[in-house]
Amino acid sequence: MIVSFKDIEQQARALGAEERAKLAESLLESLQSPLSDIEAAWEQEIESRVAALDRGEMQAYATEDVFADARRLSR
């Protein structure tokens, strides 16, 4: 049996305030899970880049130079 969004919404609105709050919290947490995966991937990428920089495999650039180049290129 397929339940429509409208049916679910009506059932959710029929809950008490505390139950609706718990449901809302649960739904919001379910949206955070993919974000956590993305954040973990970025953390790994950052660690990898820092290690490469420490090993001398990457070149660092001064912030002022990066922004100056960006301003020059955006004109």
Using one digit for the tens of pLDDT, what is the confidence trace for 11-61? 999 999 999 999 999 999 888 777 778 888 999 999 999 999 999 999 999
CB 20 within 8 A of CB 13: yes
Residue 8 has pLDDT above 90, yes or no: yes
User: Residue 43 falls within a domain, yes or no?
Assistant: yes
Angle between helices 17-54 and 5-13 (to 10 degrees): 120
- Averaged over 55-69, what is the pLDDT? 95
pLDDT of the residue at 32: 77
Q: How far is CA 8 from CA 2, 17, 24, 27, 39, in A?
A: 11, 16, 13, 13, 31
**Structural domain span for residue 64:** 9-73
Residue 1, in any domain of the structure: no
User: Residue 34 corresponds to which tokens in the numbers above?
Assistant: 């993919």
Number of domains in the chain: 1
